[in-house]
Structure 1
Amino acid sequence: MKKVSILTLVGRNFNNNYGAVLQAYALQETIKKLNYNTEIIDFNPKASKNEILKKICQRINEGNFLNMVLRISSKNISSKLHKKQEILRNKKFETFRSEQLYLSKKTYNNEEELINNYETSDYYIVGSDQVWNPIAGIEKIKVYLFSFVTNSKKISYAASVSKKIPENYKKTYSDLLKDFDYISVREMDGKEQIKQLTDKNIEIVLDPTLLLSKNEWNRISKEPKNIPTYKYIFVYDLYRSNEILSGLCKFAKKRGLKIINYTPNNIYKKIKYTHVSDSFYEYGPSEFLWYLKNSEYVVTSSFHGTVFSLLFEKEFYAVTPDTGYKGGNAFNSRLTDLLDTLGLKNRILDDPSKLNIVNFEKGIDWGKIDEKLNVEKEKSLNFLKNTLNS
Structure 2
Amino acid sequence: MPLHTNYGGIIQAYALQRAIRDLGHRAFVDTDDPVPLRRRALHRVWAVRRAVRMLLPARVDWGWRAPREVLAPQQRFVRRHLSTPSAVKRADTARGRARLARRFDTFVVGSDQVWRAAYAEIPEEFLEVIEEFHGDRPRRISYAASFGRDDIDEYSEAERARATELIRRFDAISVREESGIRICAEEFGVRAERHLDPTMLLTPDHYRGLIARSRTTTAPATAPAAGRTLIYRLDATDDMLRAERAIAERVGAPPMELLPTQAPRSYAEYAADRARFDRPSVEHWLASIASADFVVTDSYHGCVFSILFNRPFVVHANARRGAARFESLLGVFGLEHHRADASAAGIDERVFAPDWDRVNRVLDAERERARAYLVANL
TM-score above 0.5: yes
The code of the aligned residue for 2:127 comes to F
1:309 alignment partner, one of 293, 306, 309: 306
Partner of 2:310, secondary structure, is: coil
Match of 2:209 in 1: 219
Residue 17 (1) aligns with residue 6 (2): yes
- Superposition map of 1:219-368 within 5 A: 219-221=209-211, 222=214, 227=221, 228=224, 231-240=227-236, 243-253=239-249, 255-265=251-261, 282-321=279-318, 323=319, 325=320, 327=321, 331-351=322-342, 353-354=344-345, 359=349, 362-368=352-358
Structure 1 residues 135 and 110, CA gap change in structure 2 (3 angstroms): farther
Report the Cα distance in structure 1 between the residues aligned to 2:329 and 2:225, rounded to whole angstroms: 34
| Structure 2 SS opposite 1:41 | coil
Aligned mates of 1:343, 1:100 — CA distance in 2: 33
Higher strand proportion, which one? 1
Cα distance between partner residues in 1 of 2:277 and 2:357: 30
2:28 maps to 1:28 = no
Q: Counterpart of 2:144 in 1: which secondary structure?
A: coil
Give the Å deviation of 1:173: 0.8
Gaps of at least 5 residues in structure 2 are 36-61, 264-274
Match of 1:129 in 2: 112
Question: Percent identity at matched positions?
Answer: 25
Partner of residue 373, structure 1:
363
Query: In 1, Cα distance between the equivalents of 2:20 and 2:171?
Result: 17
**Structure 1 residues 281, 352: CA separation in 2 closer, same or farther (over 3 Å shift)?**
farther
Equivalent residues of 2:77, 2:282 under 8 A apart: yes
Query: Alpha-carbon deviations, 1:114-154, whole Å to 9, x = none?
Result: 737746200000001111112247xx222211111234100
Matched, 1:173 2:163: yes
Asked if the contact 2:225–2:288 (Cα under 8 Å) also holds between the matched residues in 1, the reply is: no
Output the CA distance in 1 between the equivalents of 2:276 and 2:307: 22
Contact 1:40 1:101 (8 Å CA) reproduced: yes
Instruction: Give, in whole Å, the separation in 1 of the partners of 2:86 and 2:167.
Output: 28
In the TM superposition, residue 333 of structure 1 has moved relative to its aligned partner by 1.5
TM-score by length of 1: 0.74
Which segments of 5 or more consecutive residues in structure 1 lack a partner in the other structure? 1-8, 47-79, 268-277
Conserved? CA contact 1:234–1:297, under 8 Å: yes
CA contact (8 A) 1:236 1:261 kept: yes
Aligned mates of 1:129, 1:229 — CA distance in 2: 26
The alpha-carbon distance between structure 1 residues 110 and 242, as it changes in their structure 2 partners (threshold 3 A), is: farther
1:300-355 alpha-carbon deviations (Å, 9 max, x no partner): 1011111100110001111112x4x2x2xxx3222111211211111111325337
Distance 1:229 1:173, change over 3 A: closer
TM-score, length basis structure 2: 0.76
Q: Is this contact kept in 2: 1:41–1:103, CA < 8 A?
A: yes
The 2-side partners of 1:340 and 1:147 are apart by 33
**Equivalent pair of 2:337/2:348 in contact (CA under 8 Å):** no
Please give the alpha-carbon distance, in whole angstroms, between the structure 2 residues aligned to 1:298 and 1:280.
Answer: 21
Q: Secondary structure at the match of 2:129?
A: coil
Residue aligned with 1:381, SS: helix
Single out whichever of 117-126 and 377-386 deviates more from structure 2.
Answer: 117-126
Distance 2:90 2:254 in 1: 43
1:155 to 123, 130, 141: 141
Alpha-carbon distance, 1:33 to partner:
0.8
2:8, 2:301 within 8 Å by CA — same for their partners in 1?
A: yes
Is contact 1:315–1:360 with CA below 8 Å preserved after alignment? no
Q: 1:129 to 1:31 in 2, by over 3 A?
A: same
Q: Note the C-alpha offset of 1:257.
A: 2.4
Q: Is 1:143 aligned with 2:124?
A: yes
1:107 and 1:174 mapped to 2: Cα distance? 22
- Comparing 91-100 with 101-110, which one deviates more in the overlay? 101-110
Question: Is the 2:294–2:311 Cα contact (8 Å) retained in structure 1?
Answer: yes
Structure 1 residues 291 and 112: CA distance shift in structure 2, 3 A = farther
> CA shift at 1:290, angstroms?
0.6
Q: Partners of 1:143 and 1:186 in 2: how far apart? A: 19
